[in-house]
Structure 1
Amino acid sequence: MRGDGGDIYWRRRMSVLVAVLVVVAVVAWACSSGGSGPERSSSAQSSPSASTSAQPTPAADPLLAGLRTLAMGTASPSPTPTPKAAPSERPRKPGEPCQEKDLVLSLQGGKEQIFAAGSRPTFLVTLVNTGSVMCKADIGPRAMEVRITSGADRIWSTADCVSGAGTEVAELQRGVPYVRSLEWDRRRSSADCRSASSTALPGTYVAVARMGKMRTEKGVFHLR
C-alpha cells in the first residue's frame, strides 16, 4: 500500500508540474503573438508609404525621360531664314560698253597757273580703263565734257555748239590711257551757239572734266 501511495504522490506532482509548464508556455505564446500584432499592423500601414516612396517620380523615370527626349528631338524646329547669296557678276566680254566703276578720269594743266595776256590755257584729259577686258566708251565732246567756270558763272564748255551727233566711240584697252589735248581760246561759249562771243576777262577760273557721274579735281588757274 505504501509503495502504491508513493507512486500516486509523484504522479500528482508531475501532473501539476506539466500543467504549470503548459500554462507558462501558453502565456508566453500569447504575449509574443499579442506584441507582434501592432508591429505587423504598423509595418502593414507603413508599407504603402514605403512602396510609394520607392516608386520613381516621372522626372526620374528613365522611360519617361527617354520618351520626352525623343519627342523634343523629333519636334520640327522653327525655320531660320536662309541668307540669300549675292548674285555673282558675269564675266565681261571684250567690246561691251565700259562701266563707270572701271574708268578713271583725270584732268591735267591749268592748275594754279597764271596765263599772261594773249596766252591760251591748255588741258590734258585722260581716261583709263581698269577693267579686265577691252571696253567701248563715248569720248565725244558732250559725253566727256571739259567745263570752265568763274564762281557761279559758266564760262566755256566743250559741249557747247557741237556740230553733228557729237559722239565718238573709242576702244579702251585695259590699262592704256586715252589722252585728249584741249586749248581754250579765252572766249565764252553758250548752249544756244550765239555767233558773237565775248572774251573772258582777267581773273580766276576753274576747269573740271565731267563724264557721266564722274568728276575730276578742280583745276584753278588765273588769266592776266
Structure 2
Amino acid sequence: MSTNRPAPGRLPASVYRRRRLMVLLGLVAVVVAVVLVFVRPGASQGDDVATTTPPTVPSTSAPDATDVPTATDDAGPPATDEADAAEAAEPATDGDPCRAEQITVEAVTDQAVYAAGEQPKLSVTITNTGSNVCVLNVGTAAQVFTITSGADTYWSSTHCQVDPVDAEVSIEPGTPVSSSEPITWDRTRSSADTCGGERATVPAAGASYHLSVTVDGFESATSKQFLVY
C-alpha cells in the first residue's frame, strides 16, 4: 500500500498556508494602526475644529460725572428784563411819565375837504385815558406831523423846523389837550434840501392825503384823511 509524502526538499502545504495567514494578519494590523493614528475612536467631529472664542463685549456703565454736561449760571440774560417787568407792574402815581397804555394821540385837520387855494391847518389832540396825572413832552421838539399819499411821504414838519422847543406838561385824566396854534400846510412837497428855495406844489383835483402825528414817541393810532382840490 502506497503513502502520499511530500517531495524531498518541499514543506507541507499547511505550512505555507499558515505563513500566508500570518503575513495577511500582519498587513491587517498595520492598516488598523494607521487608521487609529488619523481617526481617534470616541472623538467627535468638533474636536478637530478650532474653537472660536466669542469677542468680548464691553460692559455698559453709567458715564462718569465729569463727562455729564451740567447747567451753569452763564445761561444768558432772561427773556424779559426783570427791572422793566417790575416797573411795569408798579401802579402809576400822579406826576409819573405818561405810559403808552394811558395816552391816545389823534391827528386833526380843520376840514375834511379843501377847495382850490385853501391851506389845511394841522393839529393834534392828546387824551389821558388812565387814572392818574402823567407828564408828557408836548413841545414842538417832540412833535412830528407827516402827510402821505399812498406809499409816498409828501410833507413832514421836521424837514424845515425852526427853533424847536421842549415843553413838559401834566396831562389830566379824561381831559383832551389840543394844539394851541395849528400848523398850516402850504400844499407843497417838502424835503430837507428845499428849505431855502421854492417847492413843488402837490397834486390836487380831489387828491387824497393822510395826516399822522407823533408826540413824545406816542403815535396816532389812525391817520386823518382829507381831500384837496
TM-score (norm 1): 0.53
Residue 213 of structure 1: how far off its partner (Å): 5.1
Q: Name which of 182, 203, 218 aligns with 1:201.
A: 203
Residue 201 of structure 1: how far off its partner (Å): 2.6
SS at match of 1:160: coil
Equivalent in the alignment of 1:179: 178
Determine the C-alpha separation between the residues in 2 that align with 1:160 and 1:166: 15
Residue 128 of structure 1: how far off its partner (Å): 0.8
The RMSD of aligned alpha carbons is: 2.6
Determine the C-alpha separation between the residues in 2 that align with 1:191 and 1:97: 32
Residues 125-140 of structure 1 mapped to structure 2, 5 A cutoff: 125-140=124-139
Residues 54-203 of structure 1 mapped to structure 2, 5 A cutoff: 89-109=89-109, 113-180=112-179, 181-192=182-193, 194-198=195-199, 199-202=201-204, 203=207
Residue 142 of structure 1: how far off its partner (Å): 4.5
Q: Is the Cα–Cα contact under 8 Å of residues 110 and 221 in structure 1 kept in the other structure?
A: no
Work out whether 1:221 is the aligned partner of 2:222: no
Residue 176 of structure 1: how far off its partner (Å): 1.4
Q: Is the Cα–Cα contact under 8 Å of residues 105 and 127 in structure 2 kept in the other structure?
A: yes
TM-score (norm 2): 0.52
Equivalent in the alignment of 1:34: none
Q: Which has the higher helix share?
A: 1
Determine the C-alpha separation between the residues in 1 that align with 2:174 and 2:128: 6
SS at match of 1:128: strand
Determine the C-alpha separation between the residues in 2 that align with 1:187 and 1:171: 35
Q: Is the Cα–Cα contact under 8 Å of residues 108 and 123 in structure 2 kept in the other structure?
A: yes
Matched to 1:215, the amino acid is S
SS at match of 2:209: strand
Identity of aligned residues (%): 30
Listed as ranges, the gaps of 5+ residues in structure 2 are 1-84
Residue 137 of structure 1: how far off its partner (Å): 0.8
